[in-house]
Amino acid sequence: MNIDCQTKSPHVSDEVRKTTCYMCACRCGIDVHVRDGRVRYIQGNRDHPVNRGVLCAKGSAGMLHLESPARLQSPLMRTGPRGAGEFREVSWDEALDTACAWLGEIRSKDPRKLAFYTGRDQSQSLTAWWAQQFGTPNYASHGGFCSVNMAAAGIYSIGGSFWEFAQPDWERTRLLLLFGVAEDHDSNPIKLGLSALRRRGARIVSINPVRTGYSAIADTWLGVTPGADGLLVLSLVRELLRSGRVDSDFLRRHTNAGWLVVDGEGESAGLFARDEEGNPLVVDGSSGKLANAAAPGAVPLLAASVDMPDGSRASTVFSRMAAKYLDNRYAPETVAPRTGVSASAIRGLAAELARTAFDETIELPVPWTDVHGNTHPTTVGRPVAIHAMRGISAHGNGFQTCRSLHLLQMLLGAVDCPGGTRFKAPYPKPVELHPRPSGFSGCDTPLAGPPLGYPLGPDDLLVDAHGNPQRLDKAYSWEAPMAGHGMLHAAIPNAAAGDPYPVDVMFLYMANMAWNSSMNTPAAIEALTARGEDGAYRIPKLIVADAFNSETTSYADLVLPDTTYLERHDCISLLDRPIGEPDLIADAVRQPVVELTRNVRPFQDVLIEIGGRLKLPGFVTSGDKPRWRDYAHYMVTREVVPGIGPLAGWRGRNGDRTGRGEPNPQQLEKYVEAGCFWSQEIPSEARFFKNLNRDYQEWAVNLGLLPRPAPFQLQIYSEPLRRFQLAAEGFGERQPPDELRQRIREKFDPFPIWYDAAGDAAGDYPLHAITQRPMAMYHSWGSHNPWLRQLHADNSLYVPGPVCDAAQLTDGCWAWLESPIARIKVRVKRMEAVNGQTVWSWNAVAKRPRAWGLSQGAPESRKSFLLNHVISDLLPEQPDGCRWSNSDPITGQAAWFDLRVSIRRADDTEECAYPQFTLQGLPPGLEDGPPELRYGEEWT
């Protein structure tokens, strides 16, 4: 029989338009098949460096965004009480007039009264600059909630973090350690890479409380207890040191292991011993004399303790390190109970690390030249790679834990080498090359620099003369000195409390801060609706920009509706987060692939227009006319410094320059022609050891990635941390408040340390509770997608078998999960492949009833829960009565993985999660979703 039910070559689409996905933060290239003006199908772009043709579930479901009943239809002004979802439609003119009236007034009186927070924003070079030009220091994006511990620890230690700034050398790694890797960042590249590792027979070890996802395919799974990863890593460090299995050559050349640190006590104790020019000093191994650490030819002794010319004594970082980590507190037997990993497994892993690094050393026939001019005939690599993500980051000890990971990499010599974890340009960069945070400069005045940056010591803090925070979120104050990304999660509670001061306008973009992008959801809702004695809202004006009817939208006074990612221009700039690979640099754009049919505008266009209307410096020409028509115009013509703009490809008047060059009016067309991205291979001699690689430094300077050559040593010992510690010891002019001294002395150890941020296991709350993001979802905006929500329309709490047995919990039963502040009712699912002290669930599933275009009785509302309800904004009271933010004391990173809980079977039989929230109203123009969906029926 030969039966063709239809033609062999049916028509697929009228046109394939390439653009960049935004269903998560991965930024894959996509081919959008357009038919009759609608999206027929989305597939991965085979040429794109990020995803090389593959595409995940989220990206594949993107076309349904264009069908969502939750899409906002026009600007809205609130008519009912906050949260009710009662609005009237207004014109864009009225909306922008209102916004500009509110903003213009405070800019002239006190720009700090604007708090501008963005969520998973990928246009931070625009939004941060806008805030800077407006003159408010109160700007941050999602990082403080997400992974600033990771970002900051990387930058302060090795010049860049894991995350999207570095990746395992997928082609050469022999052993990969994955720590707490969430599946949303770099999701497709990691999957492609793990697959490559599997094919090559390289070993994957996953250190994660839960054995799902990537952990499921790892050769070895170590079910670490949450918050104890740092302890585990320092035990590995101890074992490597104890056996002398460290890369001494790498440590000498590439790190500050040989730098001398001043011993004793006093104002310079613990700082690097420096020469008169301020260069750190080492003991040169050949001469035995003190030498400038950066001098060509200096080969520092690692183990030395010497008398300095000024009479002080100094010893090397390495000596101090050995003394610190050889302590029995890091012995495998000591750490095993707290880490949940057996001593033999820790020893085994240490052995495997050492064996792979030193017995399977890679030698590439690629010569490279260091910044001293020494040419190395080959490139030697330690094929051990580490990757880590939020499971490490979202703990109150996350910064130091990340530092521990980087220490482990440095000891093995596995940084930016063949087979190791390799940076993506423009990283690595020394912390000194990043800006310092800029504070308030005055009314109608821009900040002196960007609002976010990396402090090098107390002098860079944003505090007033009394040491009080200058920023609303208290980032860069003594409470979170090295905040890096600001503290999104503190903005709403602080604004409502007027602590440290009240604000007038809160402006939120693409951040669901009234729901799951808060530490504690009920508290955030209460803060947004809290009224003062005069009956007015304590946060007087709230502007929300979002494409969808999210939970947060319902609290807005003014809604500025955004487009979806398929309807606008956008840029994925090297000024934000890189999308390249270790061997190539890349940036990308988005273009509209379908026509916009609603009265909504791309947020970036709107922000640029507001900037023009407010006549913010830079946003207007010398004649006070708006400088940019829209974001597309901005992307092409904006110059951060002359010759450098958001996009690096096809610069110069004729499009023949890369990196540096005059704006090219045809640049966007060139990007579109090329598939909406630009990439360039990094020269082969410039691909490794970039911190000291002369050719890389030159190449990066030529391309405009670095303002000047900036070679640097990786920082095992962090002097900025020590400077804060010195202040806490009483040295220096800027002093922390007394109640914070002890905390800073303890936690700002210049060496990575571990401390228990999640509290004692004993007591009323014996279990750790964490969440993971399902691979098929990214935040609420994707989880209302009809195809994706079928995968995860409700969530259960996964409970270890022995805990189930002890508490008489059975599959599908309901249970109360209780933390010190609140309790929630959840459905139970038994699981064995999980750390025995850990319960967990999928996050971002639960929704407020009727938000996001879903029905009132949707399982997302009836049967789902967020752990946020039981997470506290604040830590328990200190002995002195103070309550600190539930954040990392160094960076202010929200510590939502430090949650401790207890569980017991629920007696009532109601099949419904608790708490339940009130119904959210439908704004004008929005309707309930259709009863059925037959997407693509017209083409079949």
Partner 1 sequence: MHPALSIILFTTLSGAGFGLCFWVGLLGSGLHAYQVALTGFASIGLASAGLLCSVFHLRRPSRAWRAFSQWRSSWLSREALIAPASLAMLAAFVAATALEHSAAATLGWIAAPVALLAVFATSMIYTQLKAVAAWHTMRTPLLFLAYAISSGFYFMLAMLGLAKLTMPQHGGGPVVPDGLLVFLATTLAPAAFLVQYLWWRRRDAVGFGKSSAESATGLGNPGSVRMLEPPHTGANYLTSEMGYVVARRHAAKLRWISAIVGAAVPAILCLWAGISIAGQPALSWLAAIAHLLGAGIARWLFFAEARHTVMLYYQ
Partner 2 sequence: MTSLPDKTDSKLGLVIDLDICVGCQACVVNCKAWNTGGYGSALSDSQPYGDNPEGAWLNRVHGYEVDSGSGAATIVHFPKSCLHCDDAPCVTVCPTGASIKRSEDGIVLVDESKCMGCGLCAWACPYGAREMDPSAGVMKKCTLCVDRIYNENLPAVDREPACVRTCPTNARHFGDLSDPDSSVSKLVAERDGQDLMPEQSTRPVNKYLMPRERQGIDQLAEPDFSLAELADPTPSGVLAWIDRALDRL
Binds 617: which of partner 2, partner 1, none (CB < 5-8 Å by kind): none
Binds 931: which of partner 2, partner 1, none (CB < 5-8 Å by kind): partner 2
Contact pick of 154, 159, 223, 486 for partner 2 (by CB under 8 A): 223
Binds 310: which of partner 2, partner 1, none (CB < 5-8 Å by kind): none
Nearer to partner 1 among residue 7 and residue 790 (C-beta): 790
Find out whether 643 and 637 touch, Cβ atoms under 8 Å: no
Contact pick of 84, 322, 530, 674 for partner 2 (by CB under 8 A): 322
Binds 794: which of partner 1, partner 2, none (CB < 5-8 Å by kind): partner 1
CB of 793 to partner 1, least distance (A): 5
CB of 857 to partner 1, least distance (A): 13
To 10 degrees, the CA torsion angle through 147, 152, 154, 160? 90
By the rule CB under 8 A, 328 interacts with partner 1: no
Find the binding residues for partner 1 in span 831-850 (CB under 8 A). 831, 833
Task: Tell how far CA 564 is from the center of its chain.
Answer: 22
Nearer to partner 1 among residue 208 and residue 409 (C-beta): 208
Structural element, H or E, at residue 105: helix 92-109
By the rule CB under 8 A, 323 interacts with partner 2: yes
Contact pick of 729, 794, 818, 888 for partner 1 (by CB under 8 A): 794
The closest of 866, 919, 857, 871 to 549, measured between CA atoms, is 919
Question: For residue 420, how many C-alpha atoms fall within 13 Å in the half-sphere facing its CB?
Answer: 31
Q: Do the bridges between strand 313-316 and strand 305-307 make them parallel or antiparallel, or are there none, so unpaired? A: antiparallel
By the rule CB under 8 A, 791 interacts with partner 1: yes
Contact pick of 69, 449, 655, 820 for partner 2 (by CB under 8 A): 69
Find out whether 729 and 735 touch, Cβ atoms under 8 Å: no
- 209 cis-preceded (ω within 30 degrees of 0): no
CB of 830 to partner 1, least distance (A): 9
Find out whether 381 and 418 touch, Cβ atoms under 8 Å: yes
Find the binding residues for partner 2 in span 163-202 (CB under 8 A). 183, 187-188, 191-192, 194-195, 198-199
Nearer to partner 1 among residue 160 and residue 782 (C-beta): 782
By the rule CB under 8 A, 790 interacts with partner 1: yes
CA distance 255 to 818: 46
Contact pick of 134, 179, 318, 440 for partner 2 (by CB under 8 A): 318
Nearer to partner 1 among residue 358 and residue 935 (C-beta): 935
Q: Do the bridges between strand 541-546 and strand 281-283 make them parallel or antiparallel, or are there none, so unpaired? A: unpaired
Alpha helices in 513-557 (DSSP H): 521-529
Binds 305: which of partner 1, partner 2, none (CB < 5-8 Å by kind): partner 2
CB of 584 to partner 1, least distance (A): 37
- The beta-strand segments (E) located in 451-499 are none
Site string for partner 2, 326-365 (x = CB under 8 A): x---------------x-xx-xxx-xx-xx----------
CB of 792 to partner 1, least distance (A): 6
Residue with tokens 């220096």: 732
Sequence-distant (6+) residues with CB within 8 A of 206 are 177, 178, 181, 214, 215, 218, 220, 221, 222
Q: Pull the structure tokens for residue 462.
A: 């944003």
Question: For residue 457, how many C-alpha atoms fall within 13 Å in the half-sphere facing its CB?
Answer: 15
Find the binding residues for partner 2 in span 918-937 (CB under 8 A). 928-937
Contact pick of 192, 793, 807, 821 for partner 1 (by CB under 8 A): 793
| Torsions phi, psi for 154 (to 5 deg) | -65, -45
Amino acid at 513: M
Binds 287: which of partner 1, partner 2, none (CB < 5-8 Å by kind): none
CB of 52 to partner 2, least distance (A): 9
- 915 cis-preceded (ω within 30 degrees of 0): yes
Q: Pull the structure tokens for residue 793.
A: 């329309």
By the rule CB under 8 A, 54 interacts with partner 2: yes
By the rule CB under 8 A, 213 interacts with partner 1: no
Residue with tokens 């996001």: 852
Residue with tokens 């319902």: 554
CB atoms within 10 A of CB 361: 17
Contact pick of 437, 750, 853, 889 for partner 2 (by CB under 8 A): 853
Contact pick of 127, 215, 552, 725 for partner 2 (by CB under 8 A): 215
By the rule CB under 8 A, 66 interacts with partner 1: no
By the rule CB under 8 A, 433 interacts with partner 1: no
Find the binding residues for partner 1 in span 847-906 (CB under 8 A). 859
- Using DSSP, state whether 558 is helix, strand or coil: strand
CB of 839 to partner 1, least distance (A): 14
Nearer to partner 1 among residue 421 and residue 516 (C-beta): 516
Contact pick of 829, 847, 850, 869 for partner 1 (by CB under 8 A): 829
CA distance 188 to 60: 12
Find the binding residues for partner 2 in span 854-873 (CB under 8 A). 854-855, 857-859, 862
- The beta-strand segments (E) located in 547-609 are 558-561, 570-572, 584-590
CB of 181 to partner 2, least distance (A): 11
**How many residues belong to the site for partner 2 (CB under 8 A)?**
110
Stretch that binds partner 1, among 185-193, 550-558, 793-801, 921-929 (CB under 8 A): 793-801
For residue 475, give Cα distances in angstroms to 146, 396, 437, 438, 439. Answer: 15, 15, 10, 11, 11
CB of 4 to partner 2, least distance (A): 9
By the rule CB under 8 A, 308 interacts with partner 1: no
- The beta-strand segments (E) located in 614-756 are 677-681
For residue 36, give Cα distances in angstroms to 11, 135, 565, 675, 936. Answer: 12, 46, 19, 21, 11
Q: Pull the structure tokens for residue 844.
A: 């971002």
Find out whether 32 and 19 touch, Cβ atoms under 8 Å: yes
Residues forming the site for partner 1 (CB under 8 A): 790-795, 829, 831, 833, 859
